[in-house]
Structure 1
Amino acid sequence: MVRTVWGVDSASAVSPSLFECVVNQFGKPEYWGRYLTTVENVSDGLTQEEIQFLQDNRIKIMPIYNVFREAVGYRQGEITATNAIFHARRLGIPTGTFIFANIEHFFMIDEAWLRGWIDAFYPSGFKPDFYNDPVRGQFNEAFCQAVINHKRVKEQAVLWSAEPENGVTTKQNRPRTFAPATPDCDALVWGWQYGRDAEECPIDTNLIDRKLYESLW
């Protein structure tokens, strides 16, 4: 049985008021997924103040990069990964940490971009990952083709699945079985965003494999 760890992610910065809302309404998360940079009207970027606040509360950070709107082309995958690595270093995130590319189901996606992301991460010391929807959109086909074309994808890519969406729960009422949707090929699916867009606080709820948790910051 997979040993899982409960946590949340948010596009909003973790202020004391948001933290209090989450703890009071859902329970204290063990990790918090946050974006490396600000994208106007989409996400607040991590700041040193926010990092210190999370660390003071003994909450690990799950870094996400989302400054792209399609995942097409090997060279573009390399460039996007290089930018993500730059921002991870700028924020002081240590090597060995997983960094997630935020690939939404409505993106154009091809296998070359995924290979480019993986290859650019290879010498960096960081670990390459994909937030994805293996049910809707083009990720399933692109990923499985990338696995066929490049063994490094199968060996190194860790996936954070957006399906199935069972609904937001408290920490106490989290799913007891780790059951994320997976691609139609061999994959390391270590994350599951099982609940999205909580009404009480602007967060999503997640379960992750302890192997992933141990390599967060």
Structure 2
Amino acid sequence: MAILNWGVDSAAAVTDDLYQCVVTNFGQPDFWGRYLTTIANVSDGLTREEIRFIQDKGMKVMPIYNNFSEATGSRAGAVAARNAIFRARQLSISEGSFIFANVEKFFLVDSDWITAWVDTFFESPYRPGIYADPTEGPFNEAYCAATEASERVRQQTVIWSAEPEPGATTKRGAPRRFNPKRPSCDANVWAWQYGRDASACPIDTVLMQSRLFETLT
């Protein structure tokens, strides 16, 4: 059976209070997903100090880029990727890390954006990830069209699936089987956000395969 790593993600910065809340109520995360940029009323942007705090607590950082509200068009996909790469460099995110585009199920999405996101990362020291819902919204159709047109998209992209959502659990109570929903075409689905909006702390709970965990900062 594949080794799985358990962690969380949060829009809020990882302070000692939030860390203690998570450890007390859920357990010690192996990694913590955090957003690269500050967006008013949405997310606190990751800082170098926060990265040090996370690493000092024995965790890795899962970088997420969310400074966009739709995912359509080649130009927008390339701009989003360049901005994500620039910010990752500023923060000294380790080369080889996957950076996940936060594609919500209510976003407009097309294959041109996905292909440009992947192609732009190909020329960088980082690798392209996409957080998405493969079952609801336009992502599945757009992604499969992109993989049909580009072997690079199929080979290089790692998907972080938002479904199914049985609910947030403790580390000990996490699903035993890695069973995320997948696109209807061939895809590298290596992470699964199986629980959203936990009641005890403002976090989501995530499982990922060790091959992704090993690439994190």
TM-score strictly above 0.5: yes
Rounded to whole Å, the distance in 1 between the matches of 2:126 and 2:7 is: 21
* Whole-Å separation in 1 of the counterparts to 2:203 and 2:42: 13
**Amino acid paired to 1:193:** Q
In structure 2, give the amino acid aligned to 1:36: L
Counterpart of 1:71 in structure 2 is 71
Q: Sequence identity of aligned pairs in percent?
A: 57
State the one-letter code of the partner of 1:16.
D
Q: Which residue is equivalent to 2:123?
A: 123
Counterparts of residues 166-181 of structure 1 (less than 5 Å): 166-181=166-181
Structure 2 CA distance, aligned partners of 1:13 and 1:65? 14
Question: Where has structure 1 moved over 2 Å in runs of 4 or more?
Answer: none
| Alignment coverage as a number of residue pairs | 217
Residue 87 (structure 2) aligns with: 87
Distance 1:109 1:19 in 2: 34
CA distance in structure 1 between the aligned counterparts of 2:94 and 2:196, rounded to whole angstroms: 28
Residue segments in structure 1 that go unaligned for 5+ positions in a row: none
* 2:6 corresponds to 1:19: no
SS of residue matched to 1:55: helix
1:37-52 aligned within 5 A: 37-52=37-52
Q: Which amino acid in the other structure matches residue 201 of structure 2?
A: C
Q: Which amino acid aligns with 2:205?
A: T
Q: What is the root-mean-square deviation in Å for CA atoms of aligned residues? A: 0.5
How is 1:147-186 mapped onto 2 (pairs within 5 angstroms)?
Answer: 147-186=147-186
Which segments of 5 or more consecutive residues in structure 2 lack a partner in the other structure?
Answer: none
In structure 2, distance between residues paired with 1:84 and 1:203: 22
- CA displacement at 1:47 relative to structure 2: 1.2
Amino acid at match of 2:65: Y
Structure 1 residues 37-81: Cα deviation after superposition (integer angstroms, max 9, x where no partner) = 101100000112211111111110000000000000011100110
- Rounded Cα–Cα distance in structure 1 between residues aligned with 2:162 and 2:187: 15
Partner letter of residue 191 of structure 1? Answer: A
The C-alpha deviation readout for 1:175-194, integer Å capped at 9, x for no partner, is 00000000000000000000
**Aligned residue in 2 for 1:101:** 101
Cα distance in 1 for partners of 2:2, 2:75 equals 36
What residue is the counterpart of 2:142 in the other structure? 142
Equivalence for 1:7? 7
> 2 CA distance for matches of 1:179 and 1:3?
13
What TM-score results when the alignment is normalised by the length of structure 1?
A: 0.99
Whole-Å separation in 2 of the counterparts to 1:198 and 1:88: 28
SS of 2:37's partner is coil
2:196 alignment counterpart: 196
TM-score by length of 2: 0.99
Distance 2:51 2:84 in 1: 17
